[in-house]
Amino acid sequence: MRVGIFLTRTYRPYSIDFDGYAAEIARSGHEPVVICPANHHPNFPFQVVVYAGDEASHPDFWKALGLERVICMTWFKHPEIFQAIRAAGVRIINRADSDGQVSARVFPSAVFHRCVQAFHGPMDLLRRLRHFVNRWLWHWKSDDAEVLKMMDLSDRIVVETQPFLEHFKKFLRFHRREDLLGKFAVVPHSVPELFIESPVAGSPRKTIFCSGRWDDDQKNAALLAASIPQILRECPEGDFLIAGYGVDEMFARLAGQDSRIRLAGLLPRESLPALLAGSRFLLSSSRWESHPIGALEALCCGCTVVATPVPGFQAIVQGGKYGTLASSHSVAALVNAVREEWMLWDAGKRLPGEIASHWRAEVNNKVVVAQLLSQ
């Protein structure tokens, strides 16, 4: 069976492990094909088909590929492409990569939060407020109609957690389209093999690991930077390792003031398991997330997670079993969550081996791809 992995973005090593998808599809006895608008992935060992312009919107393009099914990542956009895939007789597995809060009318609080929170000055705030009001008053009908059309065109819709599925259920009830619920399945994101196979260190672990695109408003570097000095006062034996894009711009001043703050910049993925194996928990200040793969990687290395109260992290910590959530997006709440999690580690209530074993069984590519191919 030829199995497509369809992307609307340039193919490069992603946080979502499409490389692992392709390798596991091949190990399962099938033939993977990546379809994308540009390929920036060096030395990829499987077939990559690059499409130009609206080529993917034509059934003949898909017929020529000879696929039986395709795993699609389009974020409920581009119905013309799904129409072409269906016309070619190819089964569509729609990988949602969404927390399900897809409508400004059904989830006004969540959409307002995403639209408005990261403003830069009063004029930007006014622009963002106007954008939200337009979405809530007028654009929600067309936005929701596109999501529903993409659902209609999908053979299966794969969401990453049960809480995300509950959001989609609310969306469908609002539109009286419960008939679509039978298309949904819950399959988590996977993590690369190196996180599954790396050694898991026990205690002592003293490092707080933070990673992200810190120049992106989503990651809320300002909240993390404001929280770090107080966290270090609360946990004086701890230290920070901060990695990712924009580290120097966002955290150089802090690092210059305290030697317990180490800045790593952009790290090769191969170095991450060992660094996570020496960390207590991953700390995230994100304003929003879907299914945070960096947190899954940390859990597979025996870390826990401390984060802001967004649905993706709520699903991961499972009521406190695998981490602690802040009660709000504030310095006080984030510091308090770190304090609580630090105490749990000090009390010996966090067992890295058990944490890693549980998550490695859940999010390895063999398990995840088997579930995707069964849809």
133 is a domain residue: no
The strand pairing partners of 75, in sequence order, are none
The reported pLDDT for the residue numbered 265 is: 87
Helix (H, G, I), strand (E, B) or coil at 263: strand
Q: Which domain holds residue 52?
A: 2-107+141-191+364-373
117 is a domain residue: no
pLDDT digits (tens, 9 = 90+) for 216-256: 999 999 999 999 999 999 999 999 999 999 999 999 999 99
150 is a domain residue: yes
Number of domains present in the structure of the chain: 2
42 CB-near residues (< 8 Å, 6+ apart): none
pTM: 0.94
Segment (H or E) for 31: strand 31-36
pLDDT digits (tens, 9 = 90+) for 182-195: 999 999 999 999 99
The reported pLDDT for the residue numbered 132 is: 86
217 is a domain residue: yes
pLDDT digits (tens, 9 = 90+) for 257-290: 999 999 998 899 899 999 999 999 999 999 999 9
d(CA 333, CA 227): 9
Contact 292, 316 (CB under 8 A): yes
Q: Are residues 235 and 164 in the same domain?
A: no
pLDDT digits (tens, 9 = 90+) for 15-33: 799 999 999 999 999 999 9
Q: Single out the residue of 319, 372, 290, 338 nearest to residue 72, CA to CA.
A: 372
Q: Are residues 182 and 234 in the same domain?
A: no
pLDDT digits (tens, 9 = 90+) for 73-123: 999 999 999 999 999 999 999 999 999 999 999 999 999 988 887 778 888
Residue 327: which CATH number?
A: 3.40.50.2000
Q: Are residues 246 and 185 in the same domain?
A: no
Q: Are residues 25 and 149 in the same domain?
A: yes
pLDDT digits (tens, 9 = 90+) for 154-172: 999 999 999 999 999 999 9
